Chain A
Amino acid sequence: MADEAEISKSLNQINTESSSLISRGDFLRALQVALNNPAKNSKNQELKDLAANTIVAALSAVKEADIQKIIDALSQDERTQTMKYVYRGMGFGQNCNLLLKWHQALTDKDGVGVIMRTLVDTKV
Chain B
Amino acid sequence: MPLPVQLVSNPVLPVTCHAWNADFTQLAFSPNNNEVHIVKFDIKTGAFTKLFVLTEHTHTVTAIDWAPKANRIVSCAQDRNAYVWTYDGTKWNPTLVILRINRAATCVRWSPNEDKFATGSGSRLISVSYFEKENDWWVSKHIKKPIRSTILSLHWHPNNVLIAAGSSDFKIRVFSGWVKEVESKKPEATVWGTKMPFGELMAEFGTSELGGGWVHGVAFSPSGNKLAYVAHDSSIAVIDAENNKAISSIATKDLPYRCVAWLGETNLVAAGHDYAPISFTFNGSLVYGAKIDVPVKKEDKTATAMAKFRTMDTKGTTDSTAVGVEVDSTHQNAISEIRVLNGNTFSTVGNDGQLVIWP
**Residues of A with Cβ closer than 8 Å to B?**
76-77, 80-81, 110-114, 116-117, 120-124
Contacts and interface: CB of A to CB of B under 8 A. Distances in A.
A107 to B, nearest CB: 9
Chain A's interface: helix, strand, loop or mixed, by majority? helix
Nearest to B254: A113
Contacts of B233: 113, 116-117, 120
29 contacts: A76-B251, A77-B210, A80-B210, A81-B210, A110-B253, A111-B253, A111-B254, A112-B254, A112-B255, A113-B234, A113-B251, A113-B252, A113-B253, A116-B213, A116-B232, A116-B233, A116-B234, A116-B255, A117-B210, A117-B211, A117-B234, A120-B212, A120-B213, A120-B214, A120-B232, A120-B233, A121-B210, A123-B211, A124-B211
Contacts of A116: 213, 232-234, 255-256
A68 B349 CA distance: 40
B150 to A, nearest CB: 15
A116 B211 CA distance: 11
A62 to B, nearest CB: 22
B212 A112 contact: no
A76 B234 CA distance: 13
Most interface-central of B208, B235, B251 (chain A CB within 10 A): B251
Interface string B179-219: 00000000000000000000000000000101111100000
Nearest to A121: B211
Contacts of A81: 210
A33 B160 CA distance: 49
A114 B233 CA distance: 8
A22 to B, nearest CB: 24
B264 to A, nearest CB: 26
A99 B233 CA distance: 22
A114 to B, nearest CB: 8
Given A113-B234, A116-B256, A120-B233, A80 B213 contact: no
Given A113-B255, A116-B256, A117-B208, 18 more contacts: A77-B210, A111-B252, A113-B233, A113-B234, A113-B251, A113-B252, A113-B253, A114-B253, A116-B232, A116-B233, A116-B234, A116-B255, A117-B234, A117-B235, A117-B251, A120-B211, A121-B211, A122-B211
A80 B232 contact: no
Ordered nearest first, which 4 A-B pairs have the shortest CB separation? Answer: A111-B253, A121-B211, A113-B234, A120-B213
Nearest to B253: A111
B83 to A, nearest CB: 34
Most interface-central of A80, A81, A124 (chain B CB within 10 A): A80
A80 B251 contact: yes
B289 to A, nearest CB: 16
A38 B285 CA distance: 29
Most interface-central of A111, A114, A116, A124 (chain B CB within 10 A): A116
Interface string B244-272: 00000001111110000000000000000
A123 B213 CA distance: 12
Contacts of B235: 117
Contacts of A124: 211
A80 B208 CA distance: 12
Contacts of B214: 120
